[in-house]
């Protein structure tokens, strides 16, 4: 009768485990309200159509282009075209802060919609065939261009084609997961550049180069291939800028060069380290020389990658919309970049640009905080009550804007331009911060409920586990110690970051315990003649491991995995083989074998370069020899 409850405990635990994951995930991936449709100038978000500064845009994304790639002498020779454009004032450089997750799909969503992506997009970034990742029904600056009669062309990373199905008149996509390819993946883009520059039927020409990112994954940012690739990208920039100067139909064209994210010192990305969140951003046009904004380039090295002023990556969206004379996408959290305001000659036009941005982001605030009052009179009362924070601080800034607008009604706007512009930027920054924080708010109720279900699942099979552990006091005691130590370690972030140290010591201690149990203790309790016989039998067992037919497949699989691994990891296979040979002589029980496998799996995960950061997920060899894949399988 005792077997039935144990069986039911296991069944219930297996049923509740996915339920716990779903409940926890619903709290960890918060709901973000999205405003449907496309923005229009007569909508509440955009009242006035300001004259556009540019007719076309060339948008060039270099995957994993870190900010120091376009600003630091050590990365590239100082005679690059990008450097000379910055020094001459034809290019305005920035560091575009890219919040985590720093992988391609979420960053492209941030660049095109102006919204803040979630970690759920990391999964969708790998699941290339997943249709839920599309932006076909969201407001973007691409959709605005299309709605206003523009034509778009795209060459490069096929993530754009999945995000924007049916958006492009001409396109040629390349997959981003064949990371061993440094050359052809970029040549497939470059071969279209000259042809498209000679045509005048497009409003947006988008390129997405993958080669630099592939070099980072395979060889790191200090690879000798990196400098060559950066020079190749710079030659393309020079070619495009020359065409903008010489060809009549490109005279009013804005050229944007940016990275979707950066990379860490290992060449990976996905986390929140400074190198990963600091991609480069350049606005390039001969028109900028009239603004007389000169920068030094290249600059000295900076450990925090802040070579030029930092802007939010989401700021690209309202900036492009304003420069191209488009309504700002409805769900944008971005703020127009101040350095580009001087492209408009009159102060009233600059104010109109900021007002359009402010009213759009105010509408987004109303959707994000539907229960909050946005009445001007209530704002006045709230602003007089004392210290403010969060949404109240943003609303008081908006109240100040309205007061300044009223006071300027009978006077020349130029008299209050400076104060009004400052007030608008103050409101935009506060509103951006408030909405961004709300986008990352977690549902604590669902998080706690998910943890409670998980705790119940852990408690259900405890009687069965206790019975098994009692059969071997040594294995049971060690496993309990391991669980308690590991659980306590999770409460300190520094221990989480250095988790590999824990598993290295645990594996060493466990192997030592097995050695004492299988070798030292038996020798102490047997006569010398029997001890010598036992030593000879151990030698026989060690040798027989190489001739038992059942081990042939395992050896062949090991050799195959060696060929699919990074060269730096190959010596680890030799060490693991030595460990396996030693463990094979110990005649382990099923429980001891299970504990050994569990600890060894964690230890080898970190030994092969893994960590708790998503930036270390290595997909470089995941797709070798296959043409398609299924993310579920």
Residue 201 sits in a domain whose CATH number is 3.40.720.10
DSSP 193-259: HHHHHT--S-SEEEEEE-HHHHHHHHH-TT-HHHHHHHHHHHHHHHHHHHHHHH-GGGTTEEEEEE-
User: Looking at the structure, do residues 125 and 206 belong to the same domain, yes or no?
Assistant: yes
Is 67:278 a contact under the CB 8 Å cutoff?
yes
Q: Is residue 295 part of a domain?
A: no
Residue 530: pLDDT band with limits 50, 70, 90: low
For residue 134, what pLDDT is reported?
78
The reply to whether 273 and 332 lie within a common domain is no
CB burial class (10 A; 0-12, 13-18, 19+) of residue 417? Answer: middle
pLDDT band for position 179 (50/70/90)? Answer: low
Query: Do 62 and 195 fall within a single domain?
Result: yes
Lowest mean pLDDT among 123-132, 156-165, 277-286: 123-132
Give the per-residue pLDDT at 2: 46
**At 35, is the secondary structure helix, strand, or coil?**
coil
Residue 411 lies inside a defined structural domain of this protein: yes
Q: What is the pLDDT of residues 8-25, one digit of tens each?
A: 777 888 889 999 999 988
At 4 the pLDDT is: 47
Mean pLDDT of 543-552: 57
- Read off the tokens for 464: 């069965």
Please state, in angstroms and rounded to a whole number, the distance separating the CA atoms of residues 185 and 247: 28
Assign 3-state DSSP to the chain and report helix, strand, coil percentages, each to 5.
55, 10, 35
Digit-coded pLDDT (tens) for 28-53: 877 677 888 888 886 544 455 688 99
| Residue 151 shares a structural domain with residue 256 | yes
Q: Residues 10, 457: contact at Cβ < 8 Å?
A: no
Same structural domain, 585 and 609: yes
pLDDT at 529 over 70: no
Whether 304 shows a pLDDT value over 50: the answer reads yes
Please say if the pLDDT value at position 247 is more than 90.
Answer: yes
- Whether residues 498 and 408 share a domain: the answer is no
CA proximity to 323, closest of 277, 291, 366: 291
464: left (phi over 0), alpha (psi -120 to 50) or beta: alpha
Q: Does residue 26 belong to any structural domain of this protein?
A: no
What pLDDT sits at residue 414? 60
What pairing do the DSSP bridges indicate for beta strands 310-312 and 91-97?
Answer: parallel
What is the predicted pLDDT for the residue at 353? 93
Could you count the other beta carbons within 10 Å of the beta carbon of residue 146?
Answer: 20
What's the token pair of residue 376? 């001007």
- Same domain, yes or no: 270 and 343: no
Per-residue model confidence as pLDDT tens digits over 50-83: 889 999 999 999 999 988 765 444 455 556 788 8
Quick: pLDDT tens for 341-373.
999 988 888 999 999 999 999 999 988 888 777
Q: Which of 389, 419, 441 is the last residue of a domain?
A: 441
Assess if residue 477 is contained within a domain.
yes
Q: Is residue 313 part of a domain?
A: no
Query: Do the strands 152-157 and 204-209 form a parallel or antiparallel pair, or are they unpaired?
Result: parallel
User: 391, 424, 441: which is the final residue of a domain?
Assistant: 441
- Tell whether 309 is covered by a domain: no
The answer to whether the CB of 472 falls within 8 A of the CB of 595 is no
pLDDT attached to residue 628 = 63
CB 208 within 8 A of CB 61: yes
Confidence of residue 387 (pLDDT cuts 50, 70, 90): low
Q: How far is Cα of residue 382 from the mean position of the Cα atoms in its chain?
A: 38
Alpha carbon of residue 401 to chain centroid: 35
CB neighbourhood size of 466 (10 A): 11
Domain identity same for 235 and 366: no
Q: What is the pLDDT of residue 614?
A: 62
Q: Please tell me which of 126-130, 302-306, 592-596 the model is most confident about, judged by mean pLDDT.
A: 592-596
Same domain, 188 and 153: yes
Residues 45 and 71 placed together within one structural domain of the fold? no
CA 135 vs CA 195, 229, 345: distances in Å:
28, 31, 35
Quick one: 77 and 181 in the same domain?
yes
Q: CA-CA-CA-CA torsion for 302, 305, 309, 311, nearest 10 degrees?
A: -170
625 domain residue, yes or no: no
Above 70 in pLDDT, residue 540? no
Q: Can you tell me the mean pLDDT for 269-277? A: 84
**Residues 133 and 162: beta-carbon distance below 8 Å:** yes
Asked whether residue 591 is assigned to any structural domain, the reply reads: yes
Among residues 284, 306, 333, the one where a domain terminates is 284
Domain that holds residue 550: 471-616
Backbone angles phi, psi at 276, to 5 degrees: -75, -30
Asked if 231 and 339 sit in the same domain, the reply is no
Q: How many CA atoms lie within 13 A of 466 on its CB side?
A: 7
Q: What total of structural domains would you count in the chain? A: 3
């Amino acid at each position: 009768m005792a077997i039935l409850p144990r069986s039911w405990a296991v069944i219930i635990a297996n049923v509740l485990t996915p339920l716990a994951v779903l409940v926890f995930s619903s709290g960890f991936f918060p709901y973000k309200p999205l405003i449907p449709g496309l923005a229009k100038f007569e909508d509440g978000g955009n009242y006035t159509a300001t004259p556009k500064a540019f007719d076309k845009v060339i948008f060039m994304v270099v995957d994993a282009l870190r900010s120091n790639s376009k600003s630091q002498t050590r990365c590239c020779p100082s005679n690059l075209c990008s450097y000379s454009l910055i020094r001459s004032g034809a290019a305005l450089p920035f560091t575009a802060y890219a919040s985590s997750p720093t992988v391609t799909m979420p960053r492209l969503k941030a660049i095109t919609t102006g919204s803040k992506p979630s970690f759920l997009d990391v999964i969708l970034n790998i699941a290339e065939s997943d249709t839920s990742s599309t932006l076909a029904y969201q407001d973007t600056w691409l959709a605005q261009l299309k709605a206003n009669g523009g034509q778009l062309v795209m060459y490069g990373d096929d993530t754009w084609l999945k995000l924007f199905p049916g958006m492009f008149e001409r396109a040629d996509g390349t997959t981003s997961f064949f990371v061993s390819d440094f050359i052809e993946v970029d040549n497939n883009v470059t071969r279209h550049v000259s042809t498209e520059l000679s045509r005048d039927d497009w409003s947006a020409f988008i390129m997405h180069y993958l080669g630099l990112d592939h070099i980072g994954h395979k060889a790191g940012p200090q690879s000798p291939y990196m400098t060559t690739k950066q020079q190749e990208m710079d030659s393309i920039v020079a070619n495009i800028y020359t065409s903008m100067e010489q060809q009549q139909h490109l005279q009013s064209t804005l050229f944007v060069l940016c990275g979707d994210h950066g990379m860490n010192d290992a060449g990976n990305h996905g986390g929140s380290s400074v190198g990963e969140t600091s991609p480069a951003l350049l606005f390039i046009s001969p028109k900028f020389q009239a603004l007389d904004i000169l920068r030094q380039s290249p600059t000295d090295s900076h450990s925090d990658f802040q070579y030029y002023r930092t802007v939010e990556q989401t700021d690209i969206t309202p900036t492009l919309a304003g420069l191209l004379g488009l309504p700002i996408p409805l769900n944008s959290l971005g703020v127009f970049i101040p350095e580009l305001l001087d492209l408009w000659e009159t102060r009233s036009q600059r104010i109109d640009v900021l007002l359009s941005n402010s009213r759009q982001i105010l509408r987004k605030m109303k959707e994000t905080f539907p229960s909050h009052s946005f009445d001007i009179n209530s704002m006045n009362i709230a602003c007089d009550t004392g210290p403010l924070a969060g949404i109240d601080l943003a609303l008081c800034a908006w109240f100040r804007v309205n007061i300044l607008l009223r006071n300027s009604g009978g006077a020349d706007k130029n008299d209050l331009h400076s104060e009004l512009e400052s007030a608008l930027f103050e409101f935009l920054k506060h509103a951006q911060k408030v909405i961004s924080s709300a986008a990352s708010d977690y549902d604590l109720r669902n998080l706690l409920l998910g943890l409670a279900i998980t705790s119940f699942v852990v408690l259900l099979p405890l009687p069965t586990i206790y019975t098994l552990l009692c059969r071997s006091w040594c294995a049971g005691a060690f496993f309990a110690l391991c669980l308690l130590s590991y659980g306590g370690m999770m409460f300190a972030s520094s221990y989480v970051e250095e988790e590999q140290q824990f598993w290295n010591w645990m594996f060493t201690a466990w192997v030592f315990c097995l050695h004492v149990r299988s070798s030292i203790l038996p020798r102490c309790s047997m006569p010398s003649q029997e001890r010598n016989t036992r030593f000879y039998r151990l030698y026989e067992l060690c040798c027989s491991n190489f001739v038992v037919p059942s081990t042939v497949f395992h050896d062949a699989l090991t050799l195959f995995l060696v060929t699919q691994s990074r060269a730096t990891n190959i010596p680890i296979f030799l060490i693991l083989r030595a460990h396996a040979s030693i463990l094979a002589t110990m005649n382990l029980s099923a429980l001891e074998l299970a504990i050994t496998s569990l600890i060894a799996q964690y230890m080898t995960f970190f030994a092969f370069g893994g960590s708790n950061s998503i930036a270390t997920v290595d997909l470089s060899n995941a797709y070798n020899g296959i043409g398609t894949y299924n993310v579920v399988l």
